[in-house]
Amino acid sequence: MKSILNYHIKFPTEKDLSQDTEYICLTDKKTNEEVRIRLHDYAEIYKCEGLYESLFNDKLQCSSPEEICNTLKVFFDENSINANTITAFDLGAGSGLVGENLKRIGVNKVFGLDILEEAKLATERDRRPGTYEKYYVADLTQTPIMDLDGVTDENFNLMTVGSALGFGDIPVKVFIDTFNLIDSHSWVGLNIKDEFLSESDQSGFAKLFRAMIEKGVIRIHIKQPLRHRLTVLGKQLYYYIIIAEKRKNLPNSLVHSQTVGHIATET
Q: Where in the chain is the domain with CATH 3.40.50.150?
A: 64-263
**Spatial separation of the C-alpha atoms in residues 205 and 252, rounded to whole Å:** 16
Nearest-5° Cα angle at 176, 208 to 174: 110
**CA terminus-to-terminus distance, the chain:** 24
The model's confidence at residue 169, banded by pLDDT at 50, 70 and 90, is low
Specify the DSSP class assigned to residue 260: T
Contact assessment for residue 118 and residue 42, using Cβ atoms and an 8 Å cutoff: yes
pLDDT at 200 over 80: no
The model's confidence at residue 204, banded by pLDDT at 50, 70 and 90, is low
Which pLDDT score is estimated for 262? Answer: 41
Contact assessment for residue 166 and residue 266, using Cβ atoms and an 8 Å cutoff: yes
Q: Residue 79 CB: number of other CB atoms within 10 A?
A: 10
- Chain segment 8-53, per-residue pLDDT in tens: 999 999 888 999 899 999 999 999 999 999 999 999 999 999 999 9
Q: What is the pTM of this model?
A: 0.93
Mean pLDDT score across all residues of the chain: 91
Specify the CATH superfamily of domain 64-263: Vaccinia Virus protein VP39 (3.40.50.150)
